[in-house]
Structure 1
């Protein structure tokens, strides 16, 4: 049995790992990745002589996928954030992010009192008394929130929170994909957003919400990679269905850049690639899925990691989020959308140097991303000075760019994904996975890889017995 997994991000590697477990040691499982490295949005690099994550830095522990996979692999160096609280820049002032909300939608007005003006708070307090809210399909999140709460709540809390996840604006994201629990509560009879939030507030368990690995999340990537044969630096130009399976045409268009084996014949394929690549590869195979992938928009961003001198004093919080409307003292926009004070947030990163990471980039607004790396470091340092007063020059800096790497979950995204999966399901031996589908976090991506592997394995089992 021969299976190709196209894409060496966390979804593709999770698929390869599950395929190995399901198909056994004799199966030929090949991961084909066009770049020269695995991991996708997981990247552990060296900063001032220490391993540090410059892509995804943590996973949500309330979902079981990562915890179960780490246990399966015998990886035990899990750690959790410190008790340092997170903050948000709201109305020109940095304040603690309150509890009692679901991604910024409050279960009661008092929860967000410190973030809003009296006028803004009055609008939030009045929301339960507005005409009952009923959903007709999906809705754009920003306009819905503004119609119920006014502008301050979405701009000062919801937008910074969602911007940290999707690098997108609250006005361009869809309710059902980004706040599914709120949508479900409304479908179940809640008549206001406030009531919906109150219904789906998570029950406090005392357990950490996030986890990571002391050795860096790249350690998970390395272990998963052991499940397959790897072909790095090899783009897939075309996927074609054959009488007996599938054929992958590999390599760049130029003859001089062809790999030694430009054709890979397999029994099944898992596509775990970004939306644009999936659209291209599926165009001649599953046109309906290709067209749906073509409607997924993407955002670009960068992470600027700074190692500051030992003894540099940070604010004592885990970081700060900024809404798109926040402005510097001079009136211009901030370059960053968030700072993570990694040395404060993660105990294992304390010590010799003080590590900070700034996140840059929002959907539709390249802003500081147009600067070269040196200028981007300068801009991020200037924001750090204004937000924290920290002026210490870094002893090391790493800039990591993610061009078009973050899919935007716009209105109608769940229906779009259903369209993709329905079209792909009609092609035996083909499956899709990745962040464009059911969530951008590590657990969600692993879940799509696992599901794709099980679909392919079931097809191969039927084909073999038949």
Structure 2
């Protein structure tokens, strides 16, 4: 059994993904700043760090098997990158032009000055062919409808339909939001996913008006009209640049290939039962694993039972390398599919148009996503069957006739937690019950308070600060 020394506090971080690595970094930073006697043990069940951040580099190509970019509105990633000395590696997209595939017809460009499908200016929206005239008139009712009087949570889809109407949501908003959250907007929680929209409605009397007001108060570089989106960023040499830098900065004890099987109280400390038949005694724990794994750690105490009801979707990313000339007729960077289309794909990104440096000259790298709520079976197909399905969709979408030079299929089973209605209260209740029994244990990660890279980093930071206050109060 490994014991903690008398003059130190020991914290275990379970999970070496971006949340766990960020928690370790901020624990170290705060411990040095306040001269806390702290020892950190980072346990990762696999033999690699980074979780979903995986970059494949080969023959001059940079292929992301997981997230390929991020939006950093509050500079969470920038601040961390600056502290790590890798802020100079951040790059912003050179170009972005988004299309929607509706009813298997010709691709329609998304109007300018649109955020998540929501227009912030009327003129470009009215000139679009994505929605009929009656649908456009109904959508502009958002500017006149009174705020809703619904108490408690509601679905994202219900809120959007009330503000903008069925056709507008189906053709414009739903493809965006389903792509962002990999879920069904009629099951997703407004309070947990986009509470800012409810704030716009309540304070400005309109979602469009509230969004427009926020844009006028923001740094103009944060939102660019030509990109039709908040500025999207990545790391020049791949997203796992952040993982490697965090790992290099970690000066605690790293245990790879070691899984925690249970957590028990041991006098004033915590005892972690490991899969290598040993025990680890610590003073505090940050659990940065998916919620399914976190719940299993407390089965003996019957804690975190609420987490069982959090569903997760299975998705796959399919990266394909083509001759650039094959895609010459298509000028877009992103395509989202509406649910009324017959495509198996949910989205397609021409990565080389957004980030020209990731491939040798003359080549195009497409990243395609498949897997919807209720349609996980397609992800279980063989690599060759998935490749065939994707190519058939690409042929219909953009007329591609050539076969790719190379295809990389990456599966993410039960990896996309769904923030269904009541998620915020569910998580709050689970954390409160956990605190009552284990006041020095914290939960962090994309199952709880945000799925994006900045949100996961922020959770790591916040939980590190909270735990240190508890340990050294």
Q: Secondary structure at the match of 2:387?
A: helix
CA–CA distance in structure 1, aligned partners of residues 24 and 268 of structure 2:
21
Q: Are the aligned partners of 1:433 and 1:445 in contact in 2 as well (CA < 8 Å)? A: yes
* Residue 351 of structure 2 corresponds to residue 342 of structure 1: yes
Partner Cα separation in structure 1 for residue 21 and residue 146 of structure 2: 48
Counterpart in the other structure of 1:309: 323
**Mapped partners of 2:106, 2:137: distance in 1:** 20
Contact 2:26 2:461 (8 Å CA) reproduced: yes
Q: Which residue of 1 aligns with 2:226?
A: none
The answer to whether the aligner puts 1:318 opposite 2:318 as a matched pair is: no
Range that drifts further, 441-450 or 17-26: 17-26
What's the TM-score, normalizing by structure 1? 0.89
- CA deviation string 1:298-325 (max 9, x = no partner): 1110100112235443422212111222
Aligned length: 445
SS of residue matched to 1:219: helix
Q: Which residue of 2 aligns with 1:77?
A: 89
Q: Indicate if the aligned counterparts of 2:13 and 2:288 stay in contact, CA closer than 8 A.
A: yes
Moved >6 Å (runs of 4+): none
| Contact in 1 for aligned 2:179/2:336 (Cα 8 Å) | yes
Runs of 5+ unmatched residues, structure 2:
1-8, 223-230
Q: State the 1:184 CA deviation.
A: 1.4
The alignment partner of 2:186 has SS state of helix
Quote the offset at 1:278 in angstroms.
Answer: 1.6
User: SS of 1:282's equivalent?
Assistant: coil
- 1:160 touches 1:323 (CA, 8 Å); kept in 2? yes
Aligned to 1:64: 75
The answer to whether 1:206 aligns with 2:217 is: no
Following the alignment from structure 1 to structure 2, what is the Cα–Cα distance between the partners of residues 419 and 202? 38
Partners of 1:161 and 1:388 in 2: CA distance:
19
Contact 1:240/1:248 (<8 A) preserved: yes
Equivalent position to 2:100, from 66, 74, 88: 88
Q: Is the 8 A contact 2:62 2:359 kept in 1?
A: no
Contact 2:60 2:360 in 1 (8 A): no
Q: Contact between 1:309 and 1:393, CA under 8 Å: does it hold in 2?
A: no
Does structure 2 conserve the Cα–Cα contact (< 8 Å) formed by 1:128 and 1:192? yes
> For the Cα contact (< 8 Å) 1:127–1:192, is it kept in 2?
yes
RMSD over aligned CA atoms reads 2.3
- Equivalent position of 1:298 in the other structure: 312
Aligned CA distance change for structure 1 residues 244 and 132 (closer, same or farther; 3 Å): closer
- Mapping of 1:10-409 within 5 angstroms? 10-24=18-32, 27-75=38-86, 76-91=88-103, 92-107=105-120, 110-113=123-126, 114=128, 115-130=130-145, 132-188=147-203, 190-201=204-215, 203=217, 205-208=219-222, 209-226=231-248, 227=250, 228-251=252-275, 259=276, 262-285=278-301, 287=303, 290-309=304-323, 311-314=325-328, 315-326=330-341, 333-352=342-361, 353-409=363-419
The one of 2, 10, 13 aligned to 1:2: 10
Give, in angstroms, the shift of residue 370 of structure 1: 2.9
> In structure 1, what is the Cα distance between the partners aligned to 2:387 and 2:186?
29
Query: What is the DSSP-based 3-state SS (H/G/I as helix, E as strand, rest coil) of the residue aligned with 1:170?
Result: coil
| 1:326-356 residue CA offsets vs partner (Å, 9 max, x unmatched) | 1xxxxxx212100010011112224343211
**Number of the residue aligned with 1:414:** 424
8 Å Cα contact 1:48-1:396 kept in structure 2? no
Question: What SS does the corresponding residue of 1:357 show, helix, strand or coil?
Answer: strand
- The 2-side partners of 1:240 and 1:406 are apart by 29
